[in-house]
Chains A and B, each alone.
Chain A
Amino acid sequence: QVQLQQWGAGLLKPSETLSLTCAVYGGSFSGYYWSWIRQPPGKGLEWIGEINHSGSTNYNPSLKSRVTISVDTSKNQFSLKLSSVTAADTAVYYCARGRPRGITMVRGVIDYYYYYMDVWGKGTTVTVSS
């Protein structure tokens, strides 16, 4: 049973850099997309970005200028850094495993694609306050 364990600083001051790490236990690290998602208080889920085992990244355009996601395959860990935080970055931050894109075929032709995140960390509450 794959588990994700995440940790990092929970209280930051404006302009500091948020830093979180997620460790993968009980399963393969390669072949998946490893994502960070956040949820501000009382609001919905926002995808921050993802990385694969080879270090290829993909970021939400709205956060791209401040986000760095990195991977340490020797430890089966991936990390998030978000620079210049403000109160608007206060949220619960989740790490999650994304599956490779699936394809459904109809009579030999691609019908649909599908993507999903099947394993999630428990979340880390990050508060930005002066």
Chain B
Amino acid sequence: SSELTQDPAVSVALGQTVRITCQGDSLRSYYASWYQQKPGQAPVLVIYGKNNRPSGIPDRFSGSSSGNTASLTITGAQAEDEADYYCNSRDSSGNRHVVFGGGTKLTVL
């Protein structure tokens, strides 16, 4: 299967920890990459590989993976973390198609 499934919406209290999950068969072979998108802006890569952050991404963002599920964890969520988050990988069936999850809207309360 080439689908990645995300919860449509998640909320977190300011300063608390939140986990955003992504499920799919391809995640048994691929680490998910994660993108943050704020309204009117292009997506920004926040996590890639096993648990790597591009330069400039705060260390409160981390990634993990188990079985067919990848997780993005924000430890100590800030108001500026309110955004849509998308997971992404390649299809593992051999066709190398790129797939995105449907996105999770994170609200920081």
Q: Which residues of A contact B (CB under 8 A)?
A: 35, 37, 44-47, 50, 58, 60-61, 94, 98-99, 101-102, 104, 112-118, 120-123
Q: Considering residues B42, B86, B98, which has the most beta carbons from chain A within 10 angstroms of its beta carbon?
A: B98
Q: Is the CB of B30 within 8 A of A112?
A: yes
- Closest chain-A Cβ to B101's Cβ sits at a distance in Å of 7
Distance between Cα atoms of A58 and B95 in the complex (Å): 8
Can you list 11 A-B pairs with a CB-CB distance of less than 8 A? A44-B103, A45-B35, A58-B98, A98-B98, A114-B33, A114-B48, A115-B89, A115-B98, A116-B45, A116-B48, A117-B88
Chain B binding surface, main DSSP class:
strand
- Closest chain-A Cβ to B63's Cβ sits at a distance in Å of 10
In chain B, positions 17-65 with a C-beta closer than 8 Å to chain A are: 29-31, 33, 35, 37, 42-45, 48-50, 54, 65
Q: How many A-B contacts are there with CB distance less than 8 Å?
A: 79
Number of B interface residues in the complex (CB < 8 A): 30
Q: Is the CB of B31 within 8 A of A114?
A: yes
Q: Is the CB of B42 within 8 A of A47?
A: no
Q: Which residues of B contact A (CB under 8 A)?
A: 29-31, 33, 35, 37, 42-45, 48-50, 54, 65, 84, 86, 88-90, 92, 95-103
Q: Is the CB of A44 within 8 A of B102?
A: yes
Please name all residues of chain B whose beta carbon is closer than 8 Å to the beta carbon of A46 when the two chains form the complex: 100
Q: Is the CB of B86 within 8 A of A44?
A: yes
Partner of A112, one of B54, B65, B98: B65
Please name all residues of chain B whose beta carbon is closer than 8 Å to the beta carbon of A37 when the two chains form the complex: 100
Q: Considering residues A35, A116, A120, which has the most beta carbons from chain B within 10 angstroms of its beta carbon?
A: A116
- Closest chain-B Cβ to A52's Cβ sits at a distance in Å of 11
Q: Is the CB of B96 within 8 A of A58?
A: yes
Partner of B98, one of A47, A114, A123: A47
